[in-house]
Amino acid sequence: MYKGIENITICDHPLIKHKLTIVRQTSTGTNEFRTVIEEIAMMIGYEALKDLPLEDVEIETPIEKAMCPMLSGKKPAIVPILRAGLGMLSGMLRLMPAAKVGHIGMYRDEETLEPHEYYCKLPTEIDQRAIYLVDPMLATGGSAIAAIDAIKQRGGKNITFLCIVAAPEGLEKIHEAHPDVRVFAGNLDRQLNEVGYICPGLGDCGDRIFGTK
Ligand code: PRP
Ligand code: URA
């Protein structure tokens, strides 16, 4: 929880902290960076998916017939914010291989830090699905808020946002704009710097995942 807000969970797990230290380091190369981001996404996803609905189905074990729980309801949607959100998609899909996948293209202007949407394609019947929006970095919160706006405009209601590192500034803004959205962050970092990067952070996550800088 963050400042007593029920809808915000800081995962605060030793394995996540350890793996975050690996990705924070400048010396970590693209291959390892991508792998560890996927692993952290799985751990945050495990926590965020704990409320998935279940229904009992009848099965036969080697011993007897039994009523046992399986996931129920419409398949959830995982929605990465392009580009860096793609780094979390594989980890989320390993947890829920049958999930549908949407994409929202968003980049932030390097000068103004304002988000710009350039693509949006969501699974059908999005209003009936649990939606897991993923982006490793919650900095000013602008991109996440704009992505949630885009999902809500298309009918999405049940939205959870997952990030690997959050700045306090972004957490507060997202909760103010969308108090109904549940937020799971792998870690709460200290602050934003004067050019909108998270400190200590891990740098430009998209560039590090795709090796573009
Ligand atoms: C990064 C990151 C978030 C955004 C966070 O994306 O992946 O989407 O910045 O910043 P904010 O909270 O201040 O909006 P970027 O715009 O660098 O695009 P990329 O993923 O294509 O690299
Ligand atoms: N986007 C990133 O990739 N890193 C930051 O620190 C802030 C926004």
| pLDDT of 2 strictly over 90 | no
Q: Is 112 annotated in the active site? A: yes
Comparing 2-16, 22-36, 81-95, which segment has the lowest mean pLDDT? 2-16
In this prediction, residue 12 has a pLDDT band, given cuts at 50, 70 and 90, of: confident
Q: Which of 28, 35, 182, 204 is catalytic?
A: 204
Average pLDDT over residues 121-133: 98
Question: Which atom of ligand 2 approaches the CA of 198 most closely?
Answer: 6
What whole-number percentage of the chain has pLDDT above 90? 95
pLDDT digits 0-9 by tens, 96-108: 999 999 999 999 8
Average pLDDT over residues 171-192: 97
- Give me the pLDDT at residue 43, please: 98
- Tokens at residue 14, please? 């030793």
In this prediction, residue 16 has a pLDDT band, given cuts at 50, 70 and 90, of: very high
| pLDDT of 148 strictly over 90 | yes
Q: Whose CA is nearest to atom 4 of ligand 2?
A: 204
Q: Which of 109, 127, 180, 207 is catalytic?
A: 207
- Tokens at residue 33, please? 């960076």
Displacement of CA 97 from its chain's centroid (Å): 16
- Give me the pLDDT at residue 205, please: 98
Average pLDDT over residues 12-27: 97
Among 130, 154, 134, 144, which Cα is nearest to 177's?
Answer: 144
Separation of alpha carbons 117 and 143, rounded Å? 9
What whole-number percentage of the chain has pLDDT above 70? 100
191 CA distance to ligand 1 middle (Å):
16
Task: Quote the Cα angle for 98-132-156, to 5°.
Answer: 105
In this prediction, residue 213 has a pLDDT band, given cuts at 50, 70 and 90, of: confident
Average pLDDT over residues 157-183: 97
Q: Is 109 annotated in the active site? A: no
- Quickly list DSSP for 108-153: E-TTT--EEEEEEE--SSGGGSEEEEE-SEESSSHHHHHHHHHHHH
Q: Cα dihedral angle (90, 206, 183, 27), rounded to 10 degrees? A: 90
Q: Which of 112, 124, 180, 190 is catalytic?
A: 112
Which residues make Cβ contacts (< 8 Å) with residue 184, sequence separation at least 6? 9, 11, 44, 47, 48, 160, 161, 162, 163
Averaged confidence pLDDT in the chain: 97
Displacement of CA 5 from its chain's centroid (Å): 18
Separation of alpha carbons 157 and 126, rounded Å? 8
- Confirm if 184 and 160 have CB atoms less than 8 A apart: yes
- Give me the pLDDT at residue 95, please: 97
